[in-house]
Amino acid sequence: MSALQTLDRGLEAIEIISQRTSGVSPASLADELGVHRAGAYRILSTLEERHLVVKGGDGLYRLGSGALVFAGRFMSQYRSAVQPVVQELASRTGFTAFVSIADRDESVALAVAEPVTRDPLGISYQVGARHPIEEGADGLAILAQRPERATDSDAVRRARSLGYALSDGEVQPGAVGLAVGTGSDPGAAVEASIGVVRLGLPGDLDVDQLLPLVQAAREAILGLY
């Protein structure tokens, strides 16, 4: 097995372990990787030394603290990369703009920007603000890019059909917003949406004018990740 193949096996092992919340045994990992059990032990030992996986008292391997460190660094880099895009969107629309990410069953504001000249109907939206993912245009746009499920709400189905999501006071009374998902590729770096929000009524949002601007911002982010 060449060094490159070993690296690929290690990365594949991390992917498998990350998807098994109950943990993975060396034997099971060997079967999934298509390698001898001794090879799986060597991979796990290397990953354990880097704190990317940890062996539990039950003998199963789960993600270790090293994975959390890398995740935190990635999110910091992702925020820095998308912030200029969000700022430009805010400036072009005159609305507060944002990028939100999925965190289990919540949507979290990762990057936020206000236009240089703030509209009287602008809204203060804080980085780190979170709410149920089923509420708000940002969360609905994220859910709409996932594979269709029988349990999807009407709002998610509508957003998937339209290609964008609208909100009307679900997260903050009197606030309306528009958002689109940043991609449905299973290999995408992060589940996210980008959009704009302001105070007002749904009819105050000129979708025909705003949607192309939000979609252009989405394409800019896809060009980064």
CATH number at residue 163: 3.30.450.40
Q: Residue 206 in 3-state DSSP?
A: coil
pTM: 0.75
**What residues form DSSP beta bridges with 112?**
98
CATH number, position 53: 1.10.10.10
* Euclidean distance between CA atoms 4 and 220, whole angstroms: 32
Q: What's the domain range around 188?
A: 70-224
Q: Does 42 share its domain with 153?
A: no
Tens digit of pLDDT at every position of the chain (225 positions): 455 788 888 989 998 998 888 899 999 999 999 999 999 999 999 999 999 999 999 999 999 988 888 888 888 898 999 999 999 999 999 899 999 999 889 999 999 999 876 555 556 678 888 899 998 999 999 999 999 999 999 999 999 999 999 988 777 777 899 999 997 554 555 789 999 998 887 777 899 999 999 999 999 998 887
Look at residues 28, 63, 98 and tell me which one is the last residue of a structural domain: 63
Q: Please check whether residues 94 and 171 belong to one and the same domain.
A: yes
Kind and range of the H or E run holding 159: helix 154-162
The angle, 0 to 180 degrees and rounded to 10, between the axes of the packed helices 37-49 and 3-18 is: 80
What residues have CB less than 8 Å from 217, skipping those under 6 apart?
85, 86, 88, 89, 97, 194
Same domain, 57 and 78: no
pLDDT of residue 168: 85
Q: What is the pLDDT of residue 3?
A: 55
Domains contained in the chain, number: 2
Q: Do 14 and 53 meet the contact criterion of CB atoms below 8 Å apart?
A: yes
The domain boundary, picked from 31, 63, 95, lies at: 63
Q: What is the pLDDT of residue 150?
A: 93
Is residue 74 located within the same domain as residue 56?
no
